[in-house]
Amino acid sequence: MGRSRRKYKKSRTSKVRVGLPKKNPNVFKPAFCLPPKLRTLIDPLGSKWDDKGSVIENYKSFGVVSNPNLLGVRSRISRIIESDSLQVPQRSDAPVSERVKERNELIKAIQDYSRNLKSALGKKRRDGKTAPLQPSTATQRLHVRRLVEKYGDDYQSMFMDTKLNKMQHSLATLEKLCTRYRVYKDKNPLINLFKLLGTILAKRPTYKQWANQE
């Protein structure tokens, strides 16, 4: 009986078979090779890997730790170690009133920092103050101006107008944008601040003028 042509095609070794060479466990090959000039700069003595020595001994000869997790580990011994850095700090000789004053100043500084951080994030502080409103961008001012001119304070109508309110802002977002627009109008305070700084710096005398005055 004749052989199937399909089975014959499958059995043919049409693809090239590549066999990887087996690794010799007794031969050590480094993962990368350093250039000779760089090797002399790092290791002027020319240390070499000792095939007969252990891995830890070879690492020590190269100045490398075999396990970096052991760097922060302290030895466990039965006796108590007395070190100045581990002892409770000594009390200062200052009077009690000065120590209380320093502590209160530290607490106040921490509280002021937390309040300023809340203000910067736009959150409400305990004293009721909030961070100043950020100026709107040019695109925001363009869209909000049209909404304010058409609807005034009617935020519900602004919300329902899908043509002017293309970004589909919510009622709260529209109210915030309109408030920022009414505060700054079409002016950007940051630009005015930079202009003011530019005029101040322009009035300052240059180094040549200052040298001539001297």
**What string of pLDDT tens digits covers the 214 residues of the chain?**
567 888 777 776 666 667 777 778 777 776 667 777 776 776 666 667 787 888 888 877 777 776 777 665 555 666 655 666 555 556 666 676 777 777 777 777 777 766 666 655 556 656 666 666 777 787 888 888 889 888 988 888 888 888 888 888 888 888 888 888 888 776 665 665 566 566 666 666 555 555 555 5
Rg (CA), the chain: 38
**pLDDT for res 199:** 66
**pLDDT for res 76:** 62
What pTM was estimated for this model as a whole? 0.32
**pLDDT for res 15:** 63
152 torsion bin: left (phi>0), alpha (psi -120 to 50), beta (else)? left
Q: How far is CA 23 from CA 26, 49, 51, in A?
A: 9, 19, 17
Structure tokens at 178: 């309109």
**pLDDT for res 64:** 75
H/E stretch holding 189: helix 189-203
At what angle are helices 138-151 and 171-184 packed, to 10 degrees? Answer: 100
**pLDDT for res 80:** 58
**pLDDT for res 90:** 60
